[in-house]
Structure 1
Amino acid sequence: MRDPLSKKIVGVQPSGIRKFFDVANEMKDAISLGVGEPDFDTPWRIREEGIFSLEKGRTFYSSNAGLKELRQEICKYTKRKIQVEYDPMTEVVVTVGGSEAIDIAMRCMLDPGDEVLIPQPSYVSYLPCAVMADGVPVVIPLKYENEFKLTVEDLEGKVTPKTKILVMPFPNNPTGSIMTREELEPIAKFVEDHDLYVLSDEIYSELTYGTEHVSIASLLGMKERTIMINGFSKGFAMTGWRLGYACGPHVIIEQMIKMHQFAIMCAPTNSQYAAIEGLRNCVDEVEEMRQAYNQRRRFLLHEFARMKLECFEPKGAFYMFPNISEFEMTSEEFATRFLMEEKVAVVPGTAFGDCGEGFLRISYAYSLEDLKEAIGRLGTFIERLRAERN
């Protein structure tokens, strides 16, 4: 029989994030610090509005671009939060999570052979989405000594006449790194000088600590070159509601809506009504969650320092990226032994790119009680490893 599968899709590797979580799920008394999902319930106001929309029979298709009221609220939000004004009728599309927005943006912008610059370590979807859109991913390894921030020096030598898109994954999953305005400005100039477009994934924009999030779209001349991706999964604890959005130039958004129309039709209607309520009335709840994450972040930093485990201070998202290279084993080996011996699941840094070797992603989107127990087990494990080496 003829092979029924696409060689391109078969060649795409599955995500490395779920592997350890799935094993831990079958283990008694195991703790998983591997999945980037808030442990908070969706704020009650949002849930109540979702329930109310179902009770009122609002189960119809919305417009392909999303409910007009939601697009208007998104534009008020972007003006308030990142000081960028978008037209809700022509420059916004509501998607099934931020991941769909990434996918359709690349499929609408790339022709076969166009190159996509992808800083790593970073979210696992960028590279396969580029491949599935017939683009050519060009990996930019970020450096620990720079706290995994992107610099112009990192970009130089990677750009070619075929380069079209630069992915900006900040605040960063898995490292927790952010980019300040001063750090973004030379990147923006590089983008303009080389006539590139930016896909800026800002899904963690609500979760920064000690500094306000800055969008590259807010810099002079960058709104016209940027597709800004965001959503409700992380900051609003709405992972299962599957709701994201993209804002950008009309010429690109128009084609994204067309792609979304044929592939999806529209995002879930009751999720859209719920998100309107979230944007209008849940500022306090989002801030409470951010403060709780910050408490957990500070706890982990203190514990890592106490056990002399090297880790720079992350300023965004809800991840730590400690350096475990002193133990002279791969990230996969460390994570496997830690899971088998101490029943704690973390994600090897290599799940986010080869330059993640020597690091682990530890999520603090879990209760402080779980974190205390897991970090106690990590301390025991590290002591045992150090004793083995002496």
Structure 2
Amino acid sequence: MEYLINKKVKDIEISGIRKFSNMVAGKEGMLALTIGQPDFPTPAHIKEAAKKAIDEDFTTYTHNAGDLALRQAACDFVAKKYSLNYQPATEVIVTTGASEAIDIAFRTILEEGVEVILPGPVYPGYEPIIRLCGATPIYVDIKENDFRFTAELIEPYITDKTRCIVLPYPSNPTGVSLNKKELMAIADLLKDKDIFVLADEIYSELLFDATHVSIGSFLREKTIVINGLSKSHSMTGWRIGFLFAPEIICQQILKVHQYNVTCASSISQQAALQALTVGIDDSLPMKEEYKKRRDYLYSRLTDIGLEVVNPDGAFYFFIKIPVSGITSFDFCLDLVEKANLAVVPGSAFSPLGEGYFRISFAYSFDTLKEACDRLGTYLNTIK
């Protein structure tokens, strides 16, 4: 029966991040810096709110768009943090993680034959959905621009087929963000064009040396903002994301969301309400710890002699492989076999990631120190 399966599904692959992580899982003595998952527990008061919700039988369907109190809290949160103004009744959807938000946004705005412009290298979760919609991903090489996805790089790729531009910042895998000047230039480029912006801002609370700016604050009418609690509140398994958009867009996306999941988990929604109110600043101590790790790793990696761009946020370094004549996959596999150290091949982040590898620093200082020791020893043996 396999021949009857949708060809578009058969043509996509499992994420290279997960593929490589699964491949090395369980290997004795392995040190893995592969998964972008916070190593902090979900704050205790958030877990208590979930327990209370269970005890009080908050176990039924909510409104398709999410519990109204949570939608209000989500709107209040982004208004306070990023000067974004959305109406809780009509302009926000509580989703099953940011991944579902991306999926339903693309399935609403894309169709056969249109194009989506993305930076490359980039998180691998966009392209498969774009292709399932019959659209074509168009990658813009940002490697020679310190991984900054700017208006100057975007403009030559805009055609009459362009339907959407994806702005993921701070970025996975590079950790690089965009500042207000850069975002305003993109907004100016697009202001007279019928092109959507999908702003994936899931790492917005983990920006180290500046305040996050959302392009939705000055290109509101055509921007879909994606956010969530996985990274900011260490709630990956709770699966709560948020999609913000003008009512005319949001209410169309809501149809797709309704037939996709009905609503996000009611218990997780109550935990999320606690996170966005009582825990509005829960990310701050985590961010400070990530910043210390960032600074430590930058020092160690540059001392080893690696070429790196210091990340603005998130918890990743995207590092140029210091030897030629080897693919990123083979380099990472050799690192596994000879140093018992697992990182992610750059090729997992589009073809433009080839020649690089990603390290996640969502791990303890002891783990990062040992990883740098192993990496340094390995590099000395292959040079």
Q: TM-score, with normalisation over the residues of structure 1? A: 0.96
Residue type of the alignment partner of 1:151: T
Structure 1 residues 307-316 or 186-195, which shifts more?
Answer: 186-195
Residue 381 of structure 2 corresponds to 384
How many aligned residue pairs are there?
383
Residue 198 of structure 1 corresponds to 197
Structure 1 residues 190-199 or 28-37, which shifts more?
Answer: 190-199
Equivalences for 1:92-241 in 2 at 5 Å?
Answer: 92-143=92-143, 145-219=144-218, 222-241=219-238
Residue type of the alignment partner of 1:168: L
Question: Any conservation in 1 of the 2:232–2:282 contact (CA below 8 Å)?
Answer: no
Measure the CA separation in 2 of the matches of 1:71 and 1:280.
12
Equivalences for 1:324-339 in 2 at 5 Å?
Answer: 324-339=321-336
Measure the CA separation in 1 of the matches of 2:370 and 2:136.
43
Measure the CA separation in 2 of the matches of 1:374 and 1:12.
32
Question: Any conservation in 2 of the 1:327–1:385 contact (CA below 8 Å)?
Answer: no
Residue 371 of structure 1 corresponds to 368
- Alpha-carbon shift at residue 285 of structure 1 (Å): 2.9
Residue 292 of structure 2 corresponds to 295
Using a 3 Å threshold, how does the CA distance of structure 1 residues 56 and 358 change in structure 2: closer, same or farther? same
Residue 308 of structure 1 corresponds to 305
- Alpha-carbon shift at residue 123 of structure 1 (Å): 1.1
Structure 1 residues 31-40 or 21-30, which shifts more?
Answer: 21-30
Residue number among 260, 270, 273 corresponding to 1:273 in the alignment? 270
Residue 48 of structure 2 corresponds to 48
Question: Any conservation in 1 of the 2:208–2:312 contact (CA below 8 Å)?
Answer: yes
Residue 25 of structure 2 corresponds to 25
Residue deviations 1:137-174 (CA, integer Å, cap 9, x gap): 1111212x321111223223311111111000111000
Q: Among all aligned residue pairs of Structure 1 and Structure 2, give the percentage whose two residues are the same amino acid.
A: 42
Paired residue secondary structure (2:156): coil
Measure the CA separation in 2 of the matches of 1:177 and 1:376.
25
Residue deviations 1:268-310 (CA, integer Å, cap 9, x gap): 0010000110111124431110111111111100101211111
Measure the CA separation in 1 of the matches of 2:374 and 2:149.
34
Residue type of the alignment partner of 2:310: E
Measure the CA separation in 2 of the matches of 1:195 and 1:258.
22
CA RMSD of aligned residues (A): 1.2
Question: Any conservation in 1 of the 2:206–2:283 contact (CA below 8 Å)?
Answer: no
Q: TM-score, with normalisation over the residues of structure 2? A: 0.97
Residue type of the alignment partner of 1:367: S
Paired residue secondary structure (2:130): helix
Residue deviations 1:367-389 (CA, integer Å, cap 9, x gap): 11111111111111111111xxx
Residue type of the alignment partner of 1:202: E
Question: Any conservation in 2 of the 1:24–1:31 contact (CA below 8 Å)?
Answer: no
- Alpha-carbon shift at residue 264 of structure 1 (Å): 0.6
Residue type of the alignment partner of 1:80: K
Residue type of the alignment partner of 1:366: Y
Measure the CA separation in 2 of the matches of 1:239 and 1:160.
37
Paired residue secondary structure (1:89): coil
Using a 3 Å threshold, how does the CA distance of structure 1 residues 2 and 228 change in structure 2: closer, same or farther? closer
Residue type of the alignment partner of 2:161: K
Structure 1 residues 186-195 or 31-40, which shifts more?
Answer: 186-195
Measure the CA separation in 2 of the matches of 1:135 and 1:76.
34
Measure the CA separation in 2 of the matches of 1:2 and 1:33.
36
Residue deviations 1:196-248 (CA, integer Å, cap 9, x gap): 110000000000111111111112xx111100000010111000001101000
Residue 69 of structure 1 corresponds to 69
Question: Any conservation in 1 of the 2:306–2:322 contact (CA below 8 Å)?
Answer: no
Measure the CA separation in 2 of the matches of 1:136 and 1:104.
17
Measure the CA separation in 2 of the matches of 1:10 and 1:60.
36
The answer for unaligned runs of 5 or more in structure 1 is none
Residue 13 of structure 1 corresponds to 13
Measure the CA separation in 1 of the matches of 2:234 and 2:192.
38
The answer for unaligned runs of 5 or more in structure 2 is none
Measure the CA separation in 2 of the matches of 1:262 and 1:305.
49
Question: Any conservation in 1 of the 2:275–2:282 contact (CA below 8 Å)?
Answer: no
Question: Any conservation in 1 of the 2:64–2:262 contact (CA below 8 Å)?
Answer: yes
